[in-house]
Amino acid sequence: NAGVTQTPKFRILKIGQSMTLQCAQDMNHNYMYWYRQDPGMGLKLIYYSVGAGITDKGEVPNGYNVSRSTTEDFPLRLELAAPSQTSVYFCASSYDPTLAGGLGYEQYFGPGTRLTVT
C-alpha cells in the first residue's frame, strides 16, 4: 500500500497563478483532510471531506477549493495565489473518527507539498 500520496513535492507560483495540489489514498478511508503548516505554528485545517461528494470548510478555507469525486482522491485548488498561501500543505486520511469510541482513528499523513508564492 502506498498510503497517502501527494504531488507535487515542491512548487513555486507567481502571485495570481492557480494550481491544484493532488492527494490520493489507497486505504479506503472515508475521511480526508487538508492542512497547512506555517513556520512556528500548529497545523491548521483548510478543508475536509467525510466521503465522496461531501466536503466542508475547516478553520482557514479562504482562497482554496476542494472536490471529492472518488473515495481515493481529494485535490486542493488554489485560485489566484497570494504570498499568504506560502506554506507546507499536508493531506491526511482516516476512518470515521466518530466511530472509534471517543479516541478517534489515527490520521495518516502524506509527505507534504512545499509551496512558495512570490
* Residues at the site binding another protein, with contacts judged by CB under 8 A: 40-45, 48, 58, 88, 90, 92, 97-98, 102-104, 106-109, 111-112, 114
* Cβ 105 to another protein shortest distance, Å: 8
Pick 74 or 90: Cβ nearer another protein:
90
Alpha carbon of residue 69 to chain centroid:
15
Q: Cβ 55 to another protein, closest distance in Å?
A: 14
What's the min distance (Å) between Cβ of 37 and another protein?
9
Q: Which is nearer to another protein, 77 or 114 (CB)?
A: 114
- Closer to another protein at the Cβ: 14 or 101? 101
| Long-range contact set of residues 31-34: C-beta below 8 Å, sequence gap at least 24 | 31/93, 31/94, 31/95, 31/96, 31/97, 32/68, 32/74, 32/91, 32/92, 32/93, 33/58, 33/91, 33/92, 33/93, 33/94, 33/107, 34/58, 34/64, 34/66, 34/74, 34/76, 34/89, 34/90, 34/91
**Considering the complex, what minimum distance in angstroms separates the CB of residue 96 from another protein?**
9
Q: Which is nearer to another protein, 38 or 79 (CB)?
A: 38
